[in-house]
A and B are shown apart, each in its own frame.
Chain A
Amino acid sequence: MDREKVTIICRCNDVTLEDILKAIESGIDDFELLRKKLKIGFGPCQGRGCLVIAARLFARKTGRNLGEIISNYTFRPPLVPIPVKYFTRGGEK
């Protein structure tokens, strides 16, 4: 068993521990870049499972401060998955 290949960090987008470690080794030294490259937290759960684990891994590997990494995160709407039907009635009223 290749441990890192089957250790899942982001369940929504299937980002593995291996993906994250490789990306950091390749020279990514900014957490936002890492997120954007791997789409960590871009799935429908909006990072509720993965964000903190990914940030903790990144902090450990790069020596950055976990609190700073997390505090700079931006949470955009929608906060949760919403069916498109709620947004399709534009132009009236």
Chain B
Amino acid sequence: MTSPIDRRIYEHPIITFHRGRKIKFVFEGREVEAYEGESVAVALYAIGIDVFSWSRKLNRPRGPFCMIGKCSSCFMIVNNIPNTRTCILPVQEGLVVERQKGLATPPSKPLEEEVEEVELNPDVLIVGGGPSGLEAASILASNGLEVVVVDEHFKPGGQLLKQTHKFFGNVELFGGQRGFQIAELYIKKLAEYSNIKLLTQTSVYGVFRGGIVAAAGRNKHYIIKPRAVIAATGAQERLIEFPNNDLPGVMGAGGAQTIMNEFGVKPGEKALVVGSGNVGLIVAYQLVQAGVEVKAIVEIMKEIGGWFVHAAKVRRLGIPILTSHTIKYVEGNGRVEKAVVVEVDDKFNPISGTEREFNVDLVLLAVGLEPDTRFHAQAGAVMKYVPELGGLVPIRTRDLETTVSNLYVAGDSSGVEEATTAILEGRIAAYSIISKFTSGSRAQQALEEMEKTLKFLWEEYRSSPLLSRARRGKESVTVSREELLELRSKYPPPVSFG
């Protein structure tokens, strides 16, 4: 049976979506079509499935939210297994998919799949195949080290996959290229090295005594004992509280970017964007490119949060940016149908009588990102809550080693910035490790490259006034080698690497 609804985008001003061959799978008793390379969640959304599950206690409908495996909104029963994250599961011929209504029951029949145990002893384990992790992997591998990269998605690239704007800066830092093109370049580059093992669709789930990191995916269970770890685990999108904030149609801005920019599916018809930071401004622009009408951007602060260049672009499209406004509530039957915004006073209290209604089916939350530092915290790294960086991040030296020996942090998980800094941090961590694990001229050269990158990052790139907030945040968690050793002995971590 073919569905009458098709939300796929066939014409887009800057992206050509190369869809794979047609795949058929079963959704709640009917056969549905998808394209190879799509996730199950996206394939269902594309044919008009707005509700992915009904919540376990209150039976509330839930739809797509983060779309990168961080939240629990897309859990479905796949081939009899409940709580499957369908946003990071690729469609396959013959899958049987059902939605969960309330708390799922355990599988009714025993599993037949064999799980293979695999032991790996790489020089460096990289957790997260985004810009930071991929940059680090290519440098480490080109210096002869054995590298394992683990990523939950079935395609590496992290959030580069959904970035469609052109990067600023020089050619060496991919200036002029779009995020998804940079991801392709990395994928090609990594394939040249036989000393990189790339494990996609695999999740690192814990750090254990003796410096063992465990991961699971594609019917393999990995026990990894690396000499060093770069945990480049990225960030997740923030939620905010307002009535019906879980209604399908309320999504993270990044979630919508995944749907429309990575997979070429229209996330809605009419949208309201909450938050005018760079993500909010860029997503508004991209929504228009995808054929979505953007009614307004609301911003609780008095001023627009993002860069002038992005705000100007949005203004040229005629999208109003309502500063000193916030979202009051959304309503709808199974999906957002209406959003109400309200003006706020100097103390951010709503001013009654200033409510405005928007008839929208999509409300995107672009209210900031929070570093995903669970891995670092679990390993015992000394952490600090830094509002400028979006949340809890590990204390580190300037070359990005945490208080856990040979555990490095890089990219958004070291404090939310953007892809270029993520690349630079991945590079710094990689050269720091090479300088320790090799000797002679190679080690010397790595140190020089590291210093060069550090100098560029701190003295040029982060000297821009636009980045001063993040810079302040990063300065507040960067300590000297002596201070790090002091912290290490004061709060001895349960594990170490190397």
Residues of chain A at the chain B interface (Cβ within 8 Å)? 1, 3, 6-9, 11-14, 16-17, 43-46, 48-50, 52-53, 57, 66-68, 70-71, 73-83, 85-89, 93
Q: Is B123 in the interface zone, CB < 8 Å from A?
A: no
Kindly list chain A residues whose C-beta atoms are within 8 Å of the C-beta of B113.
85
Known: A11-B55, A45-B72. A77 touches B214 (CB 8 A): yes
Interface string of B378-411 (1 = CB under 8 A from A): 1000011100000110000000000000000000
Cα of A68 to Cα of B490 in the assembled complex, Å: 18
Known: A66-B385, A67-B384, A75-B377. A86 touches B71 (CB 8 A): no
Q: Is B205 in the interface zone, CB < 8 Å from A?
A: yes
Kindly list chain A residues whose C-beta atoms are within 8 Å of the C-beta of B238.
52-53
Q: A7-B242, A44-B72, A86-B115 are in contact. List 9 more A-B contacts (CB 8 A).
A: A1-B243, A6-B244, A9-B241, A11-B246, A49-B239, A50-B239, A71-B385, A77-B214, A79-B378
**Residue of chain A at shortest CB distance from B242:** A7
Q: Is B462 in the interface zone, CB < 8 Å from A?
A: no
Nearest-neighbour CB distance to chain B for A90, whole angstroms, equals 11
Q: Is B374 in the interface zone, CB < 8 Å from A?
A: yes
Cα of A58 to Cα of B208 in the assembled complex, Å: 32
Q: Per a CB cutoff under 8 Å, which of A11, A17, A57, A88 touches B62?
A: A11
Q: Is B421 in the interface zone, CB < 8 Å from A?
A: no
Q: Per a CB cutoff under 8 Å, which of B75, B206, B221, B246 touches A77?
A: B206
**Residue of chain B at shortest CB distance from A39:** B57
Kindly list chain A residues whose C-beta atoms are within 8 Å of the C-beta of B58.
14, 16
Q: Per a CB cutoff under 8 Å, which of B85, B152, B221, B384 touches A86?
A: B221
Cα of A14 to Cα of B374 in the assembled complex, Å: 22
Cα of A48 to Cα of B369 in the assembled complex, Å: 11
Q: Is B329 in the interface zone, CB < 8 Å from A?
A: yes
Q: Is the CB of B206 within 8 A of A79?
A: yes
Interface string of B194-230 (1 = CB under 8 A from A): 0000000001111110000010100101000000000
Q: Is the CB of B329 within 8 A of A3?
A: yes
Residues of chain B at the chain A interface (Cβ within 8 Å)? 55-58, 60, 62, 65, 69-73, 75, 81, 83-85, 111, 113, 115, 117, 152, 203-208, 214, 216, 219, 221, 236, 238-246, 329, 331, 370, 372, 374-375, 377-378, 383-385, 391-392
Kindly list chain A residues whose C-beta atoms are within 8 Å of the C-beta of B208.
77
Q: Is the CB of B243 within 8 A of A45?
A: no
Cα of A90 to Cα of B115 in the assembled complex, Å: 11
Q: Is the CB of A13 within 8 A of B216?
A: no
Query: Which of A53, A77, A78, A80 has the most chain B CB atoms closer than 10 A to its own CB?
Result: A80
Cα of A44 to Cα of B242 in the assembled complex, Å: 23
Tell me the total A-B contact number using a CB cutoff of 8 A: 124
What are 24 residue pairs bridging A and B, where the CB atoms are less than 8 Å apart in the complex?
A6-B243, A7-B245, A8-B245, A11-B62, A11-B65, A11-B71, A13-B56, A14-B56, A14-B57, A16-B58, A45-B71, A50-B239, A53-B238, A68-B385, A70-B385, A77-B207, A77-B378, A78-B205, A79-B203, A83-B81, A83-B216, A86-B221, A88-B115, A93-B117
Q: Is the CB of A44 within 8 A of B203?
A: no
Q: Is the CB of B243 within 8 A of A46?
A: no
Q: Is the CB of B216 within 8 A of A86?
A: yes
Nearest-neighbour CB distance to chain A for B125, whole angstroms, equals 14
Kindly list chain B residues whose C-beta atoms are within 8 Å of the C-beta of A76.
206, 378
**Residue of chain A at shortest CB distance from B221:** A86
Query: Which of A7, A16, A44 has the most chain B CB atoms closer than 10 A to its own CB?
Result: A7
Nearest-neighbour CB distance to chain A for B239, whole angstroms, equals 5
Cα of A35 to Cα of B81 in the assembled complex, Å: 28
Cα of A81 to Cα of B384 in the assembled complex, Å: 26
**Residue of chain A at shortest CB distance from B383:** A71
Kindly list chain B residues whose C-beta atoms are within 8 Å of the C-beta of A49.
70-71, 236, 239
Cα of A3 to Cα of B243 in the assembled complex, Å: 5
Kindly list chain A residues whose C-beta atoms are within 8 Å of the C-beta of B383.
71
Q: Per a CB cutoff under 8 Å, which of B70, B73, B75, B205 touches A82?
A: B205
**Residue of chain A at shortest CB distance from B390:** A52
**Residue of chain B at shortest CB distance from A11:** B246
**Residue of chain B at shortest CB distance from A65:** B385
Kindly list chain B residues whose C-beta atoms are within 8 Å of the C-beta of A11.
55, 62, 65, 71-73, 239, 246
Nearest-neighbour CB distance to chain A for B367, whole angstroms, equals 11
Cα of A69 to Cα of B383 in the assembled complex, Å: 12
Q: Per a CB cutoff under 8 Å, which of A8, A44, A77, A89 touches B115?
A: A89
Kindly list chain B residues whose C-beta atoms are within 8 Å of the C-beta of A66.
385
**Residue of chain A at shortest CB distance from B219:** A85
Q: Is the CB of B391 within 8 A of A70?
A: yes
Q: Per a CB cutoff under 8 Å, which of B71, B81, B206, B246 touches A78?
A: B206
Q: Is the CB of B83 within 8 A of A44?
A: yes
Nearest-neighbour CB distance to chain B for A13, whole angstroms, equals 7
Known: A79-B375, A89-B117. A14 touches B243 (CB 8 A): no
Nearest-neighbour CB distance to chain B for A41, whole angstroms, equals 11
Kindly list chain A residues whose C-beta atoms are within 8 Å of the C-beta of B236.
48-49
Cα of A52 to Cα of B369 in the assembled complex, Å: 11
